Amino acid sequence: MNRAAIYHRPMSEYCHGLDEKHIVYRLRCAKGDLERVTLSYGDTACRVTPIIFTTLEMELAASDEHHDYWEVCVESEYNRVYYYFTLYGRDGEWTYYYGGELTNALVDERSEYFKLPYNHRADIAAVPDWARDALVYNIFPDSFASAKGFIPGSGLELDYCGEASRSRLGGTLDGVAANAGYIRELGFNCVYLNPIFAAGEYHKYDTLDYMHADPCFGGDAAFRRMVDALHREGLRVIIDGVFNHCGWRFWAFEDVVRNQEKSKYRDWFYGLEFPVERPADPEAYPTYATYAYERMMPKLNTANPQVRDYLCGVGRYWIEEFGVDGWRLDVASEVDDGFWRAFRAACKAAKPDALLIGEVWETARHWLEGDMFDSTMNYDFRRHCLRFFARGELDAAGFAARCCGMLMRYKKQMAGVQLNLLDSHDVPRFLTLCGGDRRRYKLAALFMFGFVGMPMLFYGDELGLSGLKELDYRAPMPWGGGDSELLGFIKRAARLRNEHAALRRGDFRVSHARGGLMVYERRLGAERVTIALNASDKAEALPDIAGKPLWADGLCEGSLSPWGFAVCE
């Protein structure tokens, strides 16, 4: 038994409440090292000594490259728990594990065991229930549609309170509204829009005014019409909150440039060095902190109580005034924790089931304890899919290991609402990185629709949009054209997910991963859906898969052809 690999931590992703009656327990060990693990738990206030323990078998829930993860979800009346594990090695060795120690003896002193002090409702990481069923369609407003023929045209430059506001392709919020039915027909039930605030550049990440929609997009009236149109189609609305930084023409920064050290807003910004000047040279390093040395985006000091209160008011305003259903939060990992806790409290007070999604490109455990975000953008999902489906750098075993590792690093409820994506406005189109091979793209998309978390599709992916550079992957939506066969595939994948609760809410188990063939199961109660994917250039023999085929391509006499798939129930 490899004792050095055994790990558990109370009050973490290894022990957490799903609700007041259900607690998840996990244990990590070396891969292939244990053949059986049990959990024994009891009431911390048990009136007899030794404590009366109840013992349950744990299940091997996941394996990454180096570890196995054992898991059990306990339904119990106890909300304050002492517990320990019993580990049985494949080599015949066994041990108890509690209090961070491995031992062959139990003790009467209850305080030596692992402890969950209280599964308090206020501390349980609660996520909006609707998010578990969400299929998210991501729209870059400038590129999607205009009200005139629903086709983006030429850009605009409009005056906004004395400052220039620009667009590139002329997409509008009325254009989004006009296509609400199209999005719903695709099978999606949630729309995430990149920034709509009044801003200078076409991308709208350089905010001029947080309280109004951009005039190039149609302003506040158009935003209200769009939200109403989307809601009528049963589509929830997520908007982009750019609170790490603002635009260099934002009114508070204007005051700093005008009044320098005397500005009452000098403490609204990070790292000011006087005199504060806006450099004309785009390669110059400004005398103020910015986002990624981008001179037009000064960094806000979100720890300042005035800034915090102002931006929390922004969060409430768009929920209360326009009825938006949540926020995607830009550059979330560079903003202080205290601000996000305050922002969460403000938004949840306005709408308890508002969804908060942080833009975190790295492992996001720190932000997903339940006091900041409900979800994060899962760029790790994209990275693993690139290496398996697009580039062939991983085999099925390596890909499965990384996917299982993603699930085990977060609390179970948080893993269930991660925003899984293949591409976005910040990265090249996935189809392009597949070398234009639609077989590879379709397998990756099917996996996304069948994996744990919220699938997110970037506008136009369903029609075969491609692009390696920024202006290309933010290209106009190809209305009236594009790849109709790929469109049909995405519709069917979305319908499959919508029709099977197991694909939205079920557990994930890999049953086979070898060569290019990966077979996994989603299960919820009595419902089982099995998906087999062959991401290779050779036919792969399938293991026995129970159930009837729901959808298949390349399934023939117990094998899958190259880049084929099978979905069975």
- Tell me which residues are annotated as active site: 330, 359
How far, in Å, are 1, 123, 130, 390, 394 from residue 15 at the CA level?
23, 13, 24, 36, 31
- CA 440, CA 450: separation in Å to the nearest integer? 16
Contact 18, 413 (CB under 8 A): yes
How far, in Å, are 303, 318, 334, 342, 348 from residue 312 at the CA level?
12, 10, 17, 7, 11
- Torsion, Cα of 241, 243, 248, 250 (10° steps): 80
Radius of gyration of the chain (CA): 26
Contact 254, 276 (CB under 8 A): no
Helix (H, G, I), strand (E, B) or coil at 17: strand
According to DSSP, the β-strands at 540-541 and 507-514 are: unpaired
- CA 384, CA 391: separation in Å to the nearest integer? 10
Q: For residue 489, give the nearest of 384, 563, 423 by alpha carbon.
A: 563
Which residue type is seen at 342? A
How far, in Å, are 189, 415, 551 from residue 526 at the CA level?
26, 22, 20
Q: What is the DSSP string of 168-237?
A: SS---HHHHHHTHHHHHHHT--EEEES--EEESSTT--SEEEEEEE-GGGTHHHHHHHHHHHHHHTT-EE
According to DSSP, the β-strands at 236-241 and 207-213 are: unpaired
Q: How far is CA 70 from the centre of its chain?
A: 24
- CA 325, CA 192: separation in Å to the nearest integer? 10
Q: How far is CA 40 from the centre of its chain?
A: 34
Contact 308, 300 (CB under 8 A): no
How far, in Å, are 35, 211, 306 from residue 318 at the CA level?
53, 8, 19
Q: Which residues pair with 36 in a beta bridge?
A: 88
181 phi/psi in degrees, rounded to 5: -65, -35
- CA 376, CA 330: separation in Å to the nearest integer? 10
- CA 369, CA 115: separation in Å to the nearest integer? 18
